[in-house]
Amino acid sequence: MRPTVNKKLELDTPCLVLDLDILEHNIHKMQATVTRAGKSLRPHAKTHKCSALARMQLEAGAIGVCAAKLSEAEALVEAGLDDILITGPVVTPYKLERLVGLAGRSPSLKVVLDHADNVTLLDRKLGERGLSMGVLLDLDVGLHRTGVKPSKALALANGIIASPNLRLLGVQAYAGQAQHIRSYAARKDTSLHCLQDAVDIFRELRTRVPTCISLSTSGTGTFDIDLEIEEISELQVGSYVLMDTEYLDIGSASSPAHFAVFEPALRLLTTVVSASHTDFVTVDAGLKSLYRDGGIPRLAGPAPAALEYTWFGDEYGMIRATGDSPLPAPGTVLELLVSHCDPTVNLFNDYYLTRGGEVVGSWPIDLRGCSQ
Ligand SMILES: Cc1ncc(COP(=O)(O)O)c(C=O)c1O
């Protein structure tokens, strides 16, 4: 086993590093903005997959967390967290058994529903165990991934209301298609337009069902836009806490070409392992440590700005100099901003925590691989 390392650039690579100063900045900035708007924050743990980080978000004021999958929720409950919303449908009898078992351990657990069959099955399974559960109606606001169509939403809601073991707590409306639109103005138009269905349906249900008080929505790209919508009660943002180049490169309210609100807390360290060519060197981070989505990872930290990463197979990447910049020597550790944070995080077991150049701890990525 490797001895404890105190300096960031002495960590074994490839590895993931969290800059705690930036992480805290992102957490507090989002929380303060949401609180100031009179809303609640329920950050999505699918991004960081780490119960210790979720706990930090809760300590900063979040009311609960989101999980994408049942197995993520199970890991969060195992870690002692509660008030978890599972944001995707859980439909098979096997998983519903597990869901109901988890609800027995964690009574504040909530799940979304988007189909009448699912309503019937979940209600029956809960009844068999003498339990009840809070649910949100998952509304399709244009992403078409999950969610009931707006035209069928009230019929589905009626089915939930009529189910003795289900409590309708609200509506979930995630407009994933809006999140990465580059122009802030176009993103604003899209988000406000597609969330109108959610607002109308939520209003109608709120007047009929006393427990229906939650309109849970939003992602990092539209967080400030959606806060303007009066009916929205909670934001389920995820990526803001870590950030990636896919998000850094969209416009924001104050900057047309840069998302100038949150900073990249997540870094991947990689080492130059071969330097036999005049125009590039090879580093030890490839497709098995960087998810290939959302563009190309970008050099950060003290590296010259004129160095560029290119994909170079499963285990390796290529670093080219774009100008006259000298190429780094073998053994040099470079810092990358990742292109898409969620699936990259899922490739690692741990985060190393740093302040400045010092390593101050580590957190297990305990929800890693929880894709079921
Ligand atoms: C249902 C749901 N809610 C919220 C989020 C958070 O979005 P973001 O990471 O863009 O903040 C996601 C991300 O995919 C999601 O699927």
In this predicted model, what pLDDT tens digit does every residue of 167-181 receive, in sequence order? Answer: 999 999 999 999 999
Higher pLDDT, 322 or 273: 273
Q: Is the pTM of this model over 0.85?
A: yes
Q: Helix or strand or coil: residue 12?
A: coil
Check pocket membership of 264 for ligand 1, CB cut-off 6 A. Answer: no
Average pLDDT of the chain to the nearest whole number? 96
Check pocket membership of 237 for ligand 1, CB cut-off 6 A. Answer: yes
Check pocket membership of 267 for ligand 1, CB cut-off 6 A. Answer: no
Check pocket membership of 26 for ligand 1, CB cut-off 6 A. Answer: no
Single out the residue of 212, 219, 229 nearest to residue 166, CA to CA: 212
Phi and psi for 70 in degrees, rounded to 5?
Answer: -55, -45
**Is the pLDDT confidence value at 258 over 90?**
yes
* Nearest atom (ligand 1) to Cα of 223: 11
* Interval between CA 236 and ligand 1 midpoint (Å): 7
**Is the pLDDT confidence value at 360 over 70?**
yes
Contact 176, 221 (CB under 8 A): no
**What is the pLDDT, as a whole number, of residue 247?**
97
Q: What is the pLDDT of residues 106-122, one digit of tens each?
A: 999 999 999 999 999 99
Alpha-carbon distance 292 to 304, whole Å? 23
What's the residue count for the chain?
Answer: 372
Task: Return the best residue to mutate from 136, 138, 174 for the ligand 1 pocket (most ligand atoms within 8 A of CB).
Answer: 174
Using 50, 70 and 90 to split pLDDT, how confident is the model at 324?
A: confident
